[in-house]
Structure 1
Amino acid sequence: MPGFDSVETPNGDLTDCPYQSKDCSPARDLLHQLPSLMSSCYPITLKFIDVCYRIKIENKIKEGSSFRRIFNRGSTSSTDDQGSTAKIEERTILNGITGMVSPGEILAILGPSGSGKSTMLNVLAGRLHQGHGLTGTILANNNKPTKHISKRTGFVTQDDILYPHLTVRETLIFCSLLRLPRTLSTKEKTSIAEAVMAELGLTKCENTIIGNSFIRGISGGERKRVSIAHEMLINPSLLILDEPTSGLDSTAAYRLVSTLGSLVQRGKTIVTSMHQPSSRVYQMFDKVLVLSEGRCLYFGKGSEAMSYFESVGFSPSFPMNPADFLLDLANGVYHLDGVSEREKPNVKSSIVASYNTLLAPKVRAACMEATTLPRREALLTGSSSSSHSSEEHTRSHNNNVIGFATWLNQFSILLHRSLKERKHESLNTLRVFQVIAAALLSGIMWWHSDFREVQDRLGLFFFISVFWGVLPSVNAVFAFPQERAIFMKERASGMYTLSSYFMSRIIGDLPVELILPTVFLIIIYWMTGFKPEFIAFVQTLLVLLGYVLVSQGLGLALGAIIMDAKQASTIVTVTMLAFVLTGGYYVHKMPSCIAWIKYISSTYYNYRLLINVQYGDGKKISYLLGCFDRHGSSRDASCKFVEEDIVGQISPLVSIGAFLSMFVGYRLLAYLALRRLKA
């Protein structure tokens, strides 16, 4: 097939297919040294018959609105208390799609934006299930897809969901350590990741970080190949890709599809969607499915598409890219003698009618056949025993996932990855500057403040409580919303358990999140003249670190519950504002309707613990009123000794108990919120 004899080498050049030469045999052989679960010969023939997908959309229209006339009379409606009418429409996303793709073939789904390409891929990948608006039949080797088939299916999303601060090598090695079976050693898993990098031409950029729109990293084509390598690590039999050439230039797109062409030579089945492929990319497609508004315009060999449309009365008036011509038809545009007939509304309906009359019966009949080729039938029969043993191995592997050894292995790998990724974010230059600047400014402001200047000291304690209450909580609120896409993708692939991910995320944050508060206190403690005793410094440090962990837990919980970074940051800001106002510094006698907030305020307990460390655990703070100036010099011989209840101290054990409850409670809420997420 055109294009299958060339592929991008690790140096980025196009040469004769290296997969047919001895030079690339070590990498290829290494991939085939996987255990039976991964490397057994198990080709997959995928069939989809009369696939339909419908969703219900609820629209609220105010009474008297002229837009009410756009709805059909038969649509369901209901009226709420505000006089708005809720109209429920049923929108058809896919309508009777039928086709099949066999091992060694590339099926390309073409169509304009909104034609149903991504939805069709989600159906084929098993991410949409029967009973939720989906009807029709999906068959893998003439049987309903099983978990064994899903484990042999790789799904590459349109967006490259990767950690930006990890290098290509680190990304694939961590994925290999998590996805490949326990029976392989760490060295073998690393070798497989290196082999996949060599096979997909990623060796030259293996030590370059992935990057994103804000961080410079590898190119778009290389990033897409890393996403493909993610799935290639498990040696999938069926590979599904959603818009793999999106954002790439023509040459990069051709090189990427050439790489896919080399994969089908090894008997893999590939289904991909394309928005606007070039002519030489189009020539590499074995089969083409053209969609328009969820309806099928054509299914068959890519090389026969133009002749088919010519037979039904549609042909270009000048030589052009077949893909461009098909997309014009899918958009209802047909050029005749250089004149656009865009205004004719019957172009698409005419094509759909021709397809349903001429081609659809043949496609459906072909899909209904029991088997395709005797050779493939023998392969499937011969591999049935290995498939059965593989399924047993899969079940035993899944059962072992809940074992402590496997959990601990997942935890250690995820912790290592978290530390590598998070150190760039938590210890970036701006954040370090922010903390050191705040410490220096407050140190200068309260420079060697007198121990007897109680009110000044209380202001310093409260400033520390506010600063280290807001900063960790606002930073932590972004953690889970930002990682949601990666988490959902990896969880759908069965890479790890939720508990191992959550614990690695929580523990991995400790080293990087506790460094800056420690630096802050070291600077401010001696500048402001706190108690010079070492024990007092350690106690103050422990109080501050505990408060940081509690504030961080609040941000994690709100982020996991809301799962929208912008909304969660707003909620956490309002929450911390309530905690600060009821913290006991600004107002001592609060209205009874909001006085209860102080008992759930971490700022309230931290403020009192800091006072306790410096002034003792008594409820009254004794100080001399009017006797000394701020330098300690006598100011008035008629001074008097005053004992005043300044803040209403509580037992430090109560504050410590509240901290422990919040530390555990916030993180438990975050864990339960993550459990409700569905892949």
Structure 2
Amino acid sequence: MPDKDNKCTIDVSTEGIDETGACSSSSQGNLLGQQQFKLHFSNVFYVSKQNKTLVTILNDICGEFTSGRLTAILGPSGAGKTSILNVLSGFKATGVKGKFIFNEKERHLLAFRKASCYIPQDFALLDLLTVQETMCDSVDLKLPSETRAEEKLKIIDDIIQILNMEKCRHRLVRNLSGGERKRLSMAIELVTNPPVMFFDEPTSGLDSVASLQIINYLKRLALDGRIIVCVIHQPSSKLMKLFDDVLVMSRGKVVYAGPKADMVPTFESAGFAFPDFYNPADFALEVSSEEHNERLQDLIEWNKKRHCGECTILSADMDSCVNERTKILNILTYEGSKLSVVRPKAPAGFCRQLIILTRRSLRTMTRNLIAVQLRVIIHVIVAVLVGAVFWDIGNDGARTLTNISCIFFIIMFIFFGNAMPSILLCPQDTAVFTREYLNGWYSLSAYYASKLTSDLPMLLICPTLFTTIIYIMTSQPDVFARFAMCWGVSLILAIVGHFMGLAFGSTFDLQTAILLVPGLSIPFMIFSGFFIRIHELSAIFRPLCDISFYRYTMEALMQAIYGYDRPDLECHVEFCYFKSPSKLLKELDMLGDLYGHDVIVLLIWILLFKLLFFLSLVLRIKRAQ
């Protein structure tokens, strides 16, 4: 890395970068033309809690990055390469302690996040948007609302041209190649022209040609005046030539941080022989993999003295230094539990964010075979099948119990038909939300509100089609008020299932959520009043009837169809035991005006699952930090 005497003279917070983190118009084109940036870090510790045990991931590391230079982070597996990116970019705040200086000033976490970007190895993208649409959403969310449409379009065109993505501009993200996805991830973050960019293994999964193209793009970004830092796994000699600086890590410590040209001489001066015609990257990996080697420890302390200038282990000072590090670790243990979720501010206002996020969700939803097309088709097919099986049963006094079975099947299908698709759609959505939120694209409340509004069309269409078809084919009461009551309860139940699926799908992984939703909800069917009458239950289990949303749904539908003084049913046999609707409701312990009470309880369930969904999003953010 460049010598530490190379001072940075321009403050990112006052020149060339506006309050959103984007470069001002005067600096667009040749990014940050005459500006220089420097990120210096020293005595950085990162402690993580794993299996109730504190583990030191980064141990007193030091180094420096400057603009205009492409830096590679090398090291064996488990050396802490990704962790150092997470810490330096500000994505990890819990358990972090150290000194971070950006442009000769103490780094402010939120401001630094606006002026930088972090592109992880698995960059979450919405597969059902095109490249153009993805870029447009990025521009709309990241740039101020007063930015003109012509300026936004020019930014998109320039970035697509720079990254050579014109051929795939109108292609869906799911149809992009690995290299094109990598370039799209860069394009998204280049919208605000960030002066600092971190990449975690940008060449992972790519062939040698695509890898060379990606590193060439990174080199071009660095030459424009940015700080470009990337973790690279075993780069070839050809790739290694493109890097200016190298940071080599070993077991959470920095072995070397400096110019690439000085790395081999430094290792040789410490006693490590460099073979002829050997890849310097492979040599660095071999050196950093030697765990019990005093010469490696000497390199670590030499680098620390060079970049930190303090707390260096040199015989006589060893005890005091160890004590100082112990003190830092104790502070980390105490302060780490107090850190709360960082809430970066987005440039667009709440209403603007809500409109963009809702538009994006509706666009992806209409292209999703499972979420919309197949879901609607299945609702119609199953409704026709149920209507055919239970044809003309609604006013037949001899088949009243069979009609109740039909009602219970409707409840089961509507609930699971809306809960399970919500679970399946959660993993990709929440991954994109976590990345975008931590990058300050929008607020948590805006995303939450967009999920409430964008899912309403499907929650309205599917239960309406399903209930209407079955209601007509099974000849339920030909009274609009009763149909409206059945439709209202079906809609509310669909919303209950939807938000239960969202809450569990965003909290747990896919397999766990698919197991938990049926596992927790199906037992409550016992207390719905269909399998066993409420008065027949033991006193121990009766309280469970009061919290079973199946019970209130069943009760509300029974009231809608058989309650409110419905006349006696038709009877075409000698004797119909449940010819009288009031007698049926009395037998089921559902006699009385209960519809309003049932609806209120179901609305409380909706509020509960909405709250759980919101808390699950907060938990996602905390896990990511």
> Would you say same fold, with TM above 0.5?
yes
Counterpart check, 1:579 vs 2:524: yes
Aligned match of 2:367: 424
**How far off its partner does 1:144 sit?**
1.0
1:511 to 457, 475, 478: 457
Counterpart check, 1:180 vs 2:143: yes
**How far off its partner does 1:252 sit?**
0.7
Q: TM-score, normalised by structure 2?
A: 0.81
Q: Please give the alpha-carbon distance, in whole angstroms, between the structure 2 residues aligned to 1:468 and 1:316.
A: 68
Aligned match of 1:52: 45
| 1:540-576 alpha-carbon deviations (Å, 9 max, x no partner) | 323322221122233333445x443333333321332
RMSD value over aligned CA atoms? 3.1
Counterpart check, 1:528 vs 2:528: no
Counterpart check, 1:547 vs 2:509: no
**How far off its partner does 1:411 sit?**
0.5
**How far off its partner does 1:91 sit?**
3.8
2:68 to 84, 94, 104: 104
Aligned match of 1:276: 234
Letter in 2 for 1:172: M
Q: Please give the alpha-carbon distance, in whole angstroms, between the structure 2 residues aligned to 1:276 and 1:587.
A: 65
Q: Please give the alpha-carbon distance, in whole angstroms, between the structure 2 residues aligned to 1:472 and 1:202.
A: 38
Further displaced range: 159-168 or 141-150: 141-150
**How far off its partner does 1:614 sit?**
2.6
Q: Please give the alpha-carbon distance, in whole angstroms, between the structure 1 residues aligned to 2:42 and 2:607.
A: 51
**How far off its partner does 1:400 sit?**
8.0
**How far off its partner does 1:279 sit?**
1.1
Is the CA contact 1:423–1:512 (under 8 Å) kept in the aligned structure 2? no
| 1:487-513 alpha-carbon deviations (Å, 9 max, x no partner) | 221111221111111111111001123
Letter in 1 for 2:197: L
**How far off its partner does 1:155 sit?**
0.9
Q: Please give the alpha-carbon distance, in whole angstroms, between the structure 1 residues aligned to 2:403 and 2:558.
A: 9
| 1:631-670 alpha-carbon deviations (Å, 9 max, x no partner) | xxxx57x999764523233421112222332233321332
Q: Closer, same or farther in 2 for the Cα pair 1:574/1:235, shift >3 Å? A: same
Counterpart check, 1:599 vs 2:562: no
Unaligned runs of 5+ in 1: 1-30, 60-87, 212-216, 333-344, 367-396, 630-634
Aligned match of 1:34: 25
Counterpart check, 1:614 vs 2:572: no
Aligned match of 2:337: none
**How far off its partner does 1:475 sit?**
2.9
**How far off its partner does 1:263 sit?**
0.9
Is the CA contact 2:560–2:595 (under 8 Å) kept in the aligned structure 1? no
**How far off its partner does 1:621 sit?**
8.1
Q: Please give the alpha-carbon distance, in whole angstroms, between the structure 1 residues aligned to 2:157 and 2:543.
A: 59
What secondary structure sits across from 2:71 in the alignment?
strand
Is the CA contact 1:617–1:652 (under 8 Å) kept in the aligned structure 2? no
Aligned match of 1:72: none
2:297 to 334, 352, 367: 352
**How far off its partner does 1:37 sit?**
11
**How far off its partner does 1:482 sit?**
4.3
Q: Please give the alpha-carbon distance, in whole angstroms, between the structure 2 residues aligned to 1:652 and 1:662.
A: 16
Aligned match of 2:422: 476
Q: TM-score, normalised by structure 1?
A: 0.75
Q: Please give the alpha-carbon distance, in whole angstroms, between the structure 2 residues aligned to 1:240 and 1:400.
A: 21
| 1:319-346 alpha-carbon deviations (Å, 9 max, x no partner) | 23221222222223xxxxxxxxxxxx75
Letter in 2 for 1:647: L
**How far off its partner does 1:601 sit?**
2.5
Q: Please give the alpha-carbon distance, in whole angstroms, between the structure 1 residues aligned to 2:614 and 2:579.
A: 53
**How far off its partner does 1:280 sit?**
1.3
Counterpart check, 1:657 vs 2:620: no
Is the CA contact 1:178–1:413 (under 8 Å) kept in the aligned structure 2? yes
Q: Closer, same or farther in 2 for the Cα pair 1:35/1:621, shift >3 Å? A: farther
Map 1:229-248 → 2, pairs under 5 A: 229-248=187-206
Aligned match of 2:127: 164
Q: Closer, same or farther in 2 for the Cα pair 1:43/1:598, shift >3 Å? A: farther
Is the CA contact 1:245–1:274 (under 8 Å) kept in the aligned structure 2? yes
**How far off its partner does 1:298 sit?**
2.3
Q: Closer, same or farther in 2 for the Cα pair 1:499/1:361, shift >3 Å? A: closer
**How far off its partner does 1:457 sit?**
1.0
Letter in 2 for 1:202: M
Further displaced range: 571-580 or 172-181: 571-580
Letter in 2 for 1:141: N
**How far off its partner does 1:539 sit?**
3.9
| 1:427-466 alpha-carbon deviations (Å, 9 max, x no partner) | 4554345333422331221122251221111111111011
Is the CA contact 1:164–1:210 (under 8 Å) kept in the aligned structure 2? yes
1:327 to 285, 309, 318: 285
Q: Closer, same or farther in 2 for the Cα pair 1:362/1:577, shift >3 Å? A: closer
Is the CA contact 1:169–1:207 (under 8 Å) kept in the aligned structure 2? yes
What secondary structure sits across from 2:106 in the alignment?
coil
Counterpart check, 1:92 vs 2:56: yes
Q: Closer, same or farther in 2 for the Cα pair 1:128/1:504, shift >3 Å? A: closer
Aligned match of 1:447: 391
Unaligned runs of 5+ in 2: 1-21, 311-343
1:113 to 77, 84, 87: 77
Is the CA contact 1:283–1:303 (under 8 Å) kept in the aligned structure 2? no
Q: Please give the alpha-carbon distance, in whole angstroms, between the structure 2 residues aligned to 1:311 and 1:667.
A: 62
Q: Closer, same or farther in 2 for the Cα pair 1:593/1:557, shift >3 Å? A: farther
**How far off its partner does 1:309 sit?**
2.9
1:671 to 603, 608, 614: 614
Q: Closer, same or farther in 2 for the Cα pair 1:101/1:149, shift >3 Å? A: same
What secondary structure sits across from 1:596 in the alignment?
helix
**How far off its partner does 1:617 sit?**
2.2
Aligned match of 1:628: 572
Is the CA contact 2:119–2:199 (under 8 Å) kept in the aligned structure 1? yes
**How far off its partner does 1:534 sit?**
4.9
| 1:136-173 alpha-carbon deviations (Å, 9 max, x no partner) | 32211122112433311111111111111111111111
Letter in 1 for 2:501: G
**How far off its partner does 1:281 sit?**
1.1
Aligned match of 1:24: none
Aligned match of 2:358: 415
Q: Please give the alpha-carbon distance, in whole angstroms, between the structure 2 residues aligned to 1:398 and 1:299.
A: 33
What secondary structure sits across from 1:43 in the alignment?
coil
Instruction: State the aligned residue count.
Output: 556
Q: Closer, same or farther in 2 for the Cα pair 1:193/1:281, shift >3 Å? A: same
Is the CA contact 1:296–1:352 (under 8 Å) kept in the aligned structure 2? no
The answer to which structure, 1 or 2, has the higher relative contact order (CA under 8 A, 6+ apart) is 2
What secondary structure sits across from 1:410 in the alignment?
helix
Q: Please give the alpha-carbon distance, in whole angstroms, between the structure 2 residues aligned to 1:640 and 1:249.
A: 73
Q: Please give the alpha-carbon distance, in whole angstroms, between the structure 2 residues aligned to 1:210 and 1:306.
A: 42
Highest Rg: 1 or 2? 1
Letter in 2 for 1:454: T
Counterpart check, 1:567 vs 2:517: no
Aligned match of 1:139: 101
Is the CA contact 1:177–1:190 (under 8 Å) kept in the aligned structure 2? no
Is the CA contact 1:43–1:237 (under 8 Å) kept in the aligned structure 2? no
Identity between Structure 1 and Structure 2 (%): 30
Q: Closer, same or farther in 2 for the Cα pair 1:163/1:232, shift >3 Å? A: same
Aligned match of 1:206: 169
Letter in 1 for 2:100: I
Is the CA contact 1:48–1:136 (under 8 Å) kept in the aligned structure 2? yes
Q: Closer, same or farther in 2 for the Cα pair 1:98/1:594, shift >3 Å? A: same
Counterpart check, 1:123 vs 2:82: no
Q: Please give the alpha-carbon distance, in whole angstroms, between the structure 2 residues aligned to 1:98 and 1:151.
A: 23
Is the CA contact 2:270–2:295 (under 8 Å) kept in the aligned structure 1? no
| 1:410-436 alpha-carbon deviations (Å, 9 max, x no partner) | 110010011112233454554345333
Q: Closer, same or farther in 2 for the Cα pair 1:166/1:399, shift >3 Å? A: closer
Letter in 1 for 2:606: F
Q: Please give the alpha-carbon distance, in whole angstroms, between the structure 2 residues aligned to 1:639 and 1:461.
A: 19
Aligned match of 1:456: 402
**How far off its partner does 1:356 sit?**
3.3
Aligned match of 1:467: 413
